[in-house]
Structure 1
Amino acid sequence: MLDQRNLPDMLLTLDGERIETADRWLQRRRPEILDLFREHVYGRETVGRPSTLEFDTKVTPNMLGGIAVRKQVDIRYEGAGGTGKIRLLMFLPDNGQEPCPAFLLLNNRGAAHMDPEQQAPSPFWPAEQIVARGYAAVVLDVEDADPDFHDGFRNGVHGIFDPSTGERPANAWGTIAAWAWSASRAMDYLETDPDIDAARVAVVGHSRGGKAALWAGAVDERFALVVSNNSGCTGAALSRGKKGETIRNINDQFPHWFNGTYKTYNDREEHLPVDQHMLLSLIAPRPLYVASATNDEWADPRSEFQSLVHATAAYRLFGCKDLTEMNFPHPEEPLLRERMGYHLRSGEHDLKPYDWDRFMDFADQNI
């Protein structure tokens, strides 16, 4: 059921126009909301696709017991501040059929979860499970683009592409935006790979990676499906009325994740011109899936669910079925509506094989 939290009206433009059609949403309100998030939360990128982008690919057949082909791709780029590299690891079904759809995971837990030999497979990124369902399993380490610590934005892509002199603007992009940028560079490669159906690529993230996946799906409409797992504060969860982690908590602990302007909303959530249901709305009309866990009070599953319910207003403009009459579900009882899905998993803050199976169930029907 719809939970009223005095949220900004996502169908009302800044100059007072009430949005009532999909065309007006795409022409007026969606670009306006995207700009508000850039200005007040995630920041403005200084670079899109670098002109120097290059791909170096190594292919290994007969992986995962003979069911997969492995590709290891170095995505290279350079700017005034130096050079950078994002390492992409892929396992593709080796069945000689048409180009396959793919799941791209923005891995925020390091190299242990993306072993190229798969000698100790990780349930966080179960490559064989994904390949067995007919999808390419693709992963990158978000810290290749920007290490997850605050050094004044001198490292990673900020150091490569941001101006080297002058005061950093309050609306300059932070680390979450840099990680989303890395997802787009992966998509640049996937569009060139003849074994991948680039029109059927899902971007997935857990926790801080989920925040990045949502922002990647918002700014880059090439992603056919966007999946948020336990993304919480400044991810899928509403900021207004949220339990657990707050804007102040996240800005104090991770000052590099978002732009400087966002810090002015510490303890002032009600003054934000946006809330996270509006971030989810930017995915419309593409498929969107949000997942939570019962013991993840810091992320606040009910606020994640309510954010998705409120985002329905944008999907409704495209004729999608309503979520507003749905109740918060019991664990392991997924809610699926046209182009929108949600589940609550029993257990802790994590990404598990159960979650992956639900994501793929949804993808089977939607991409």
Structure 2
Amino acid sequence: MLLFFISMSISKAQTNYTESEVPFFEVPNPLTTFKGETISTNTAWEKSRRPELHAFFRENVYGRVPENLKIDSYNILEQDHNALNGKAKRTQVELTFTKNNKELSFTILLYLPKHVKNTAVFLGYNFYGNHTITEDESVIISTAWTDNNKEFGIENNTLTAASRGKRTNRWAIDKIIDAGYGLATIYYGEVDPDKNDFSDGIHHLLYGENQNQPKPDEWGSIAAWAWGLSKAMDYFETNPEIEATKVIAFGHSRLGKAALWAGANDQRFAGVISNNSGCGGAAMSKRKYGETLAVINQRFPHWFCTNFKQYNNNEEALVVDQHQLLALIAPRPLYVASAEEDRWADPRGEFLSAKYASSVYELYGKKGIGDMEMPSTNLPIHNTVAYHIRTGKHDVTDYDWEQYIKWANIHLR
């Protein structure tokens, strides 16, 4: 076990934002199996350690997908080869899934640069509909359930044109296209609405007889969103304009958790970006800093599988921690990003996860995070395991995208 020396534990009822009050804990070693065997080669990692870690996260944290559900059909809803002032091609494609006389569809909004063939793509979910990431009036407005938001003009859980372009600040589309990358996004509520109700998302298509919610080891919403990213990959493999071997899973906050789990499950993703993913994402659970397992499972009981709740106020019982989730992405490039004012997401815990996952990358001759000390603000590390902490709050900014593009140019081109 790797030792993390800190002084004292905290009250279960309080949110800890003091580093000296992080409890002492042992960091589970990614290179030691549950039986105590040492892993010293990437072959041994892939044969024994990686499978047991993946199985633990699947059965006790995110939940397993009951069966493989393939795309029933995909339909091009709209297409324009002269989008974004003439420099991009826009496609809106609907993927449909059917099972047990039930149906679910979600729409991918895809922008590809006109000057690039076989384009590498950033793929990520958005929070309030595809039409919110751009002022482009041709982008279709989703009819799926949406959380109300007065600032965005969303009432009665329904999206309207009032919210068009409200999240352009989070999607540096011009920078992405100008750099020669494509951007694909999906409204996450079309895959599974973000509420504690498993009757109106993808889950209910796969229920058995008399079942109305997932079993204790079956998928919560994060695993469902991760599943949706993999289904988008299935479509990309049919699209000759996309270089499907160079698709990067991106996500912010809860959707950063989904991107990490998608990357761990589906090795077709060429890289993964976790932006401020925090508890249940990149941040180490055993630190109990900022958001904790008890808090996240109480506020969002649908995100993880039911089995995960046994670790509420009981993080010390976990035989894994989130750095081992990050290690499951090895040897593919991984970027973990934090924000200085986002203490809820525990920036240091996110950094340490990247650091402790690096030992697995080293088995492949890849460079990870070598220092225990966090880098200075706005001074990124662009190794295969990359990290930055920027000024500002819980958000996605142009600075973040500038770093992701630079890093992708180094490791994915």
TM-score by length of 1: 0.95
Contact 2:3 2:27 (8 Å CA) reproduced: no
Closer, same or farther in 2 for the Cα pair 1:65/1:300, shift >3 Å? same
Contact 1:2 1:325 (8 Å CA) reproduced: no
Unaligned runs of 5+ in 1: none
- Letter of the aligned partner of 1:366 in structure 2? H
Q: Which has the larger radius of gyration?
A: 2
Q: Report the Cα distance in structure 2 between the residues aligned to 1:94 and 1:174, rounded to whole angstroms.
A: 38
Q: Report the Cα distance in structure 1 between the residues aligned to 2:120 and 2:361, rounded to whole angstroms.
A: 23
Identical aligned residues as a percent: 42
Q: Report the Cα distance in structure 2 between the residues aligned to 1:125 and 1:48, rounded to whole angstroms.
A: 31
Name the SS for the 1:90 alignment partner.
Answer: strand
Closer, same or farther in 2 for the Cα pair 1:305/1:162, shift >3 Å? same
- The correspondence of residues 1-367 of structure 1 with structure 2, limited to 5 A, is 3=4, 5-50=25-70, 52-56=72-76, 58-80=78-100, 82-95=102-115, 97-115=116-134, 117=136, 120=165, 122-151=168-197, 153-166=198-211, 168-337=214-383, 339-367=384-412
Closer, same or farther in 2 for the Cα pair 1:330/1:81, shift >3 Å? farther
CA RMSD, Structure 1 to Structure 2 (Å): 1.8
Shift of 1:204: 0.3
Shift of 1:333: 0.4
Moved more, 3-12 or 13-22: 3-12
Shift of 1:247: 0.1
Shift of 1:81: 5.3
Shift of 1:234: 0.4
Moved more, 157-166 or 233-242: 157-166
TM-score by length of 2: 0.84
Contact 1:331 1:343 (8 Å CA) reproduced: yes
Shift of 1:325: 2.2
Contact 2:71 2:96 (8 Å CA) reproduced: no
Q: Report the Cα distance in structure 2 between the residues aligned to 1:274 and 1:114, rounded to whole angstroms.
A: 36
Q: Report the Cα distance in structure 1 between the residues aligned to 2:404 and 2:97, rounded to whole angstroms.
A: 32
- Letter of the aligned partner of 1:356 in structure 2? W
Shift of 1:243: 1.1
Give the count of matched residue pairs. Answer: 364
Closer, same or farther in 2 for the Cα pair 1:239/1:20, shift >3 Å? same
Closer, same or farther in 2 for the Cα pair 1:210/1:185, shift >3 Å? same
- The residue that corresponds to 2:13 in the other structure is none
Q: Deviations over 1:39-78 (max 9, x none)?
A: 1100010132426243435321111111001010101111
Q: Which has the higher contact order (CA 8 A, sep 6+)?
A: 1
Moved more, 76-85 or 174-183: 76-85
Q: Deviations over 1:113-145 (max 9, x none)?
A: 334726847021222221111000110111111
- Letter of the aligned partner of 1:134 in structure 2? G
Shift of 1:11: 1.3
Closer, same or farther in 2 for the Cα pair 1:184/1:61, shift >3 Å? same
Shift of 1:18: 1.1
Q: Report the Cα distance in structure 2 between the residues aligned to 1:236 and 1:322, rounded to whole angstroms.
A: 15
Q: Report the Cα distance in structure 1 between the residues aligned to 2:239 and 2:219, rounded to whole angstroms.
A: 29
Moved more, 285-294 or 114-123: 114-123
Unaligned runs of 5+ in 2: 6-24, 138-163
Name the SS for the 2:117 alignment partner.
Answer: coil
